Structure 1
Amino acid sequence: MQEINGEHLTIAAVATAVAPGQGGIAVIRLSGPQAQDAVRAVTCIPGDQPWASHRVLYGHVLAKGGVERIDEVLVVLMLAPRSFTGEDVVEIHCHGGVMAVQRVLERVLAQPGVRRAQPGEFSQRAVLNGRLDLTRAEAISDLVAARSQRAAQLAMAGVDGGVQQRIEMLRQRLLDQLSELEARVDFEEDLPPLDGEALLEELLDVRRALLQLVEDGQRSAALRQGLRVALVGRPNVGKSSLLNRLSRRERAIVTDLPGTTRDLLESEIVLEGVPITLLDTAGIRATQDAVEQIGIARSHDALVSADLVVLLFDLSDGWTADDESLRQLIPEGVPWLRVGNKADLVEGTGAAAAATADELEADVRFSAATGVGEAELVQGLLERCGALTDGALLLALNQRQGDLAAAAADALQRSQQVAADGLPWDFWTIDLRQAIQSLGEITGEELTESVLDRIFSRFCIGK
């Protein structure tokens, strides 16, 4: 982080979302040694209002020259060490929108020793100053980005320290075993024999717990990140109707004319707690229409980027050669669900037609017009892409944490080979130290500032 005269610069940023005409208030946050002086220099606080910690002051932000009032504000002081970052933190609560916020921030940034905060820098300072461990800081970012109630609940479990406590408990168990091993390396003749089988069982028990955390994290990934689901099919098989039904609104234009959808339409929904972006693609067919050709090209791109492809076909037409050609366009490794639409037209045409429809082996039979089969469609969609999560899932590691937990589990797995080879105790410590270091990187115990910079660069500005 940048420094001035050996001290950290004071940082400032807007800590709330800013959009024209949106939001009654906005918060500008400052943290660092010049926070109070900078805010004093730009505000007029009338009367005898004490600048004491955890007090709210009323006043105005003044333009340069100290005459024009930019905005009517509240100033909140949280002085070190009783603040989010552990430094002096001062917040200016001004009116929302764009212009007032921009002018107030410009006045703050013009003060000596103050610069614009980098993404995640407030949280990074909180970690470096010991106010937060790394898992809590990451959980706060996940909470801000949560797109569903379930994702917010998992993030809140991390904010409350659930991930940190679980990882630290496992790390302490490994540290206990490492201390026993190191004692035997240095003083084996003076200590009772160490039970190698019991030691190995303890290491493998920790490994099993880590693998369970990794699995839970993988199961919850869809809750945090959401899924991209591409709706693909021939023109006029009902892709737009399906989008509208799942979105519960007329998001796409629906007509009987082929090629109505000429661009890639997106609609964000939540199914069973999982955020999903539905991609309504243009019907893929041979066409001379230049605009429709662009839409079809984007449909091909959507197939590559999708987490799941829903391939619609018309039950009343049956599975055609064109449908099979579309199936072959789905990239290898991308899960797909075959959905027969217009079930309402088929089921009313007699037993022979129904039998023919059964032979099509559709994963789901559905009617966008009546909603028949919608529950089965949602269930099949989530199941096919592995997004069905156990309601008992209480906490989950993110991708970075899961990778480190898996690395620790791999290191502990190597202990089995060390034991099988009958190697001395000092060989056991090598992999054990590696596992302990990986777990320390999860909570921030073993991280360098440069690695922290990379982690927090993915946070939003102002957090």
Structure 2
Amino acid sequence: MQRKGHEVVFTVTTPAQPGAVAILQLSGRRDEVLPLLKRLTGRERYEDRRVYLTDYAGIDHGLTAVLPVQRIDHQVTAQLMPHGGLRVVQKMTDYLVSLGAIYEEQMDTMLMYPEANSRLEADVLAAIASAASPAAIGLLASQTQRWYEVIENQEVVDWGAVERDSERLNQLLKAPKVAVVGRPNVGKSALLNYLTGQNTAIVADLPGTTRDWVGAFVELAISDSALNDEVQLSNNVAVRWHDTPGLRTSNDEIEQEAIKLAKRVLDDADVLIAMRDTEQGFAELKGLDCVPDLYVMNKVDNKQIAEDQKSGCDKSTVMVSAMTGYGLDTLQKQIIEVLGLNLLLDKTSEMPLWAFCETLRIAVARRNVDSLEGYV
């Protein structure tokens, strides 16, 4: 967002919910920001990159720091860190407006991240801050160097490949939807609870227990025995997992309405999983505009059950146990493959070019990197 004239602008960078600390960022020319800070805090002098305990006009006490914006002369960003109560944040916002500062919901990334050495690096930091998946972080962090190499070395770019890879990798920024469908009591809710490690969905032996769809964020693990636990977690892919009501004929009007709503979720899913167990077959999926991407048999709770089921089960069916965790590594890997994120499983290939922001998407659409020289 471009600023008009010499305005002092600010935004709230922390979520609009109670927290221990809030962060408000105030940006503008140094000779305008510092006088405003003086009126807010009463402090005469601020040195760059130092943190001060300040009083915010009697509203609250908090930490304040002033950071010079790289690559933009005379521009600074002040970070104000009061307590994170919603009322405190609202009173701080109102007071800054009364001092003449202008609130912007979305601030220029160069002002949000004054430490960035380029606009691309600022966009990388903004994307990392909002990315849904831990797996995005390493890939995003490599993009400044990757795009610099393209321009510096005048590399020949396969633009079609960049578009395809970017479309898939964008799923790391906004989590894709995974929906599970099946008859009642085949273990859909138990599977969700195992993956989240908590009682996200109600589990009982009574068919129809889940009467509405239940959603939760689930991190799918990219299995690699050579990785330690810390590195493993940084490679996880976040998805929005939807546990839907069991599809069956019912005289319960409320349950049938919930099933109708769930079908909308199923039609909109990026990955649709059909689930059965060792006793019940797959549900009939009448009225859906899509077909399952994966077929899963649950309640394969020991090796003997697995051997007994193999002969009568299609080879493509993934056998799992939501009780023991058997087969869930395979299931998670197959979901990642359906999403087209196989490149995350290949540790030998170089980091792909990723058009993760608007400026890069425009350059890719034009098949020309000339516009990126001042950006990178």
TM-score range with shorter-chain normalisation?
A: 0.7 to 0.9
| Alpha-carbon displacement from aligned partner over 1:324-350 (angstroms, at most 9, x marks no partner) | x31x55534x6610112223489449x
What's the secondary structure of 1:142's corresponding residue? helix
More displaced 10-residue stretch of structure 1: 103-112 or 285-294: 285-294
Give the equivalent residue in structure 2 for 1:183.
Answer: none
Distance 2:209 2:73 in 1: 54
Give the equivalent residue in structure 2 for 1:76.
Answer: 65
| Alpha-carbon displacement from aligned partner over 1:371-400 (angstroms, at most 9, x marks no partner) | 322222222222233223223453541354
| Alpha-carbon displacement from aligned partner over 1:263-300 (angstroms, at most 9, x marks no partner) | 11112121122111110001122223232123212211
- TM superposition shift of 1:240: 0.8
Distance 1:14 1:269 in 2: 28
Residue 117 of structure 1 pairs with residue 112 of structure 2: no
| Equivalent residue for 1:379, pick from 310, 333, 356 | 333
- TM superposition shift of 1:441: 4.6
Residue 60 of structure 1 pairs with residue 55 of structure 2: yes
Distance 2:13 2:71 in 1: 15
Give the equivalent residue in structure 1 for 2:142.
Answer: 157
Residue 50 of structure 1 pairs with residue 48 of structure 2: no
Highest RCO, 1 vs 2 (Cα 8 Å, sep ≥ 6): 1
* One-letter amino acid of the structure 2 residue matched with residue 375 of structure 1: D
| Alpha-carbon displacement from aligned partner over 1:295-314 (angstroms, at most 9, x marks no partner) | 21221111122110110023
| Alpha-carbon displacement from aligned partner over 1:145-165 (angstroms, at most 9, x marks no partner) | 12333211222223xx22430
Q: CA 1:289 to 1:370, structure 2 compared with 1: closer, same or farther past 3 Å?
A: same
Aligned pairs (5 A) from 1:218-257: 218-257=167-206
* One-letter amino acid of the structure 2 residue matched with residue 407 of structure 1: A
| Alpha-carbon displacement from aligned partner over 1:409-429 (angstroms, at most 9, x marks no partner) | xxxxxxxxxxxxxxxxxxxxx
Residue 29 of structure 1 pairs with residue 25 of structure 2: yes
- TM superposition shift of 1:355: 5.7
Higher helix share: 1
Distance 1:394 1:87 in 2: 34
* One-letter amino acid of the structure 2 residue matched with residue 8 of structure 1: H
Residue 144 of structure 1 pairs with residue 144 of structure 2: no
Q: Unaligned 5+ residue runs, structure 1?
A: 63-68, 174-204, 409-434, 447-463
| Equivalent residue for 1:306, pick from 269, 274, 279 | 269
Distance 1:318 1:274 in 2: 30
TM-score, with structure 1 as normaliser: 0.67
Q: CA 1:106 to 1:395, structure 2 compared with 1: closer, same or farther past 3 Å?
A: farther
Q: Which has the larger radius of gyration?
A: 1
Distance 1:253 1:37 in 2: 57
What's the secondary structure of 2:10's corresponding residue? strand
Give the equivalent residue in structure 1 for 2:156.
Answer: 206
- C-alpha contact 1:229 1:309 (8 A) present in aligned 2: yes
Q: CA 1:442 to 1:302, structure 2 compared with 1: closer, same or farther past 3 Å?
A: farther
* One-letter amino acid of the structure 1 residue matched with residue 82 of structure 2: C
Give the equivalent residue in structure 2 for 1:268.
Answer: 217
What's the secondary structure of 1:225's corresponding residue? coil
What's the secondary structure of 1:88's corresponding residue? strand
- Percent identity of paired positions between Structure 1 and Structure 2: 25
Give the equivalent residue in structure 1 for 2:319.
Answer: 365
Distance 1:15 1:232 in 2: 38
Distance 1:346 1:329 in 2: 36
| Alpha-carbon displacement from aligned partner over 1:19-53 (angstroms, at most 9, x marks no partner) | 22x22x322221113212222112233xxx63343
What's the secondary structure of 1:206's corresponding residue? coil
- TM superposition shift of 1:364: 0.8
Residue 407 of structure 1 pairs with residue 356 of structure 2: no
| Equivalent residue for 2:208, pick from 248, 252, 259 | 259
Distance 1:126 1:104 in 2: 18
Give the equivalent residue in structure 2 for 1:104.
Answer: 92
What's the secondary structure of 1:250's corresponding residue? coil
* One-letter amino acid of the structure 2 residue matched with residue 27 of structure 1: I
* One-letter amino acid of the structure 2 residue matched with residue 140 of structure 1: L
TM-score, with structure 2 as normaliser: 0.81
Distance 2:277 2:201 in 1: 19
Distance 1:259 1:341 in 2: 17
* One-letter amino acid of the structure 1 residue matched with residue 156 of structure 2: V
Distance 1:85 1:299 in 2: 54
Residue 340 of structure 1 pairs with residue 297 of structure 2: yes
Give the equivalent residue in structure 2 for 1:277.
Answer: 240
- C-alpha contact 1:30 1:90 (8 A) present in aligned 2: yes
Q: CA 1:74 to 1:373, structure 2 compared with 1: closer, same or farther past 3 Å?
A: closer
Give the aligned CA root-mean-square deviation in angstroms. Answer: 3.3
Q: Unaligned 5+ residue runs, structure 2?
A: 223-235
- TM superposition shift of 1:72: 1.8
- C-alpha contact 1:85 1:123 (8 A) present in aligned 2: no
Q: CA 1:401 to 1:288, structure 2 compared with 1: closer, same or farther past 3 Å?
A: farther
- C-alpha contact 2:210 2:246 (8 A) present in aligned 1: yes
Distance 2:72 2:64 in 1: 16
